[in-house]
Amino acid sequence: MDIKGIDKIIEKHGGVAGLLIQVLLEIQGENHWLPKEALERVSERLRVPMSRIQHIATFYKAFSLVPKGRHEVHVCTGTSCHVRGASRILDAVKDHTGIEPGETDVDSKFSVETVNCLGCCALGPLLVVNGKTHGRLSPAEASEVMKKYG
């Protein structure tokens, strides 16, 4: 993301330091992560100390300080999903992507994460790709879902 794009996002939010999280969320949404250069620009333009920005960016799980794939995959491993076979869903995702939870593939196509609960316990086991929820899946169905994303 270039400086002009970052400045545009900051200006969209009025350059108000109180809207820091919204600015970071928008940068994250466009870039799939928060590059150091972007954080430095936000710090400079909003007059917010870099230490405060780093604290926020590391506190909230929505933010990433490392590059993420174009397709963000989340597998729920909470209790309800776990007892319904979440580990088999995760295995299907790992087989398709070739990566482990917490990783991004070399082509930056997929990032895989596990989450403790997504609040959809009745739909478990649950797979979420790019914010789209897929529930009550078998491992074969999870593989089919992943094929739709490449």
Q: What is the pLDDT of residues 105-120, one digit of tens each?
A: 999 999 999 999 989 9
Task: Enter the DSSP assignment of 107.
Answer: T
Under 8 Å between Cβ of 63 and 34: yes
Pick the residue with more confidence: 133 or 31? Answer: 133
pLDDT attached to residue 7? 97
pLDDT attached to residue 78? 96
Is residue 74 predicted with pLDDT exceeding 80?
yes
Under 8 Å between Cβ of 70 and 129: no
User: What's the pTM value of the predicted model, to 2 decimals?
Assistant: 0.75
Is residue 129 predicted with pLDDT exceeding 80?
yes
Which domains are seen in the chain, by residue range?
3-59 (no CATH), 71-148 (3.40.30.10)
pLDDT attached to residue 32? 85
Mean pLDDT of 132-149: 97
Whats the size of the chain, residue-wise?
150
Residue 71 contacts by C-beta under 8 Å, 6 or more apart in sequence? 109, 110, 111, 129, 130, 149, 150
Mean pLDDT of 52-79: 93
Task: Categorize the per-residue pLDDT at 150 as very low, low, confident or very high, splitting at 50, 70 and 90.
Answer: confident
Task: Categorize the per-residue pLDDT at 14 as very low, low, confident or very high, splitting at 50, 70 and 90.
Answer: very high
Is residue 35 predicted with pLDDT exceeding 90?
yes
Bridging pattern class, strands 127-129 and 132-134? antiparallel
Is residue 1 predicted with pLDDT exceeding 80?
no
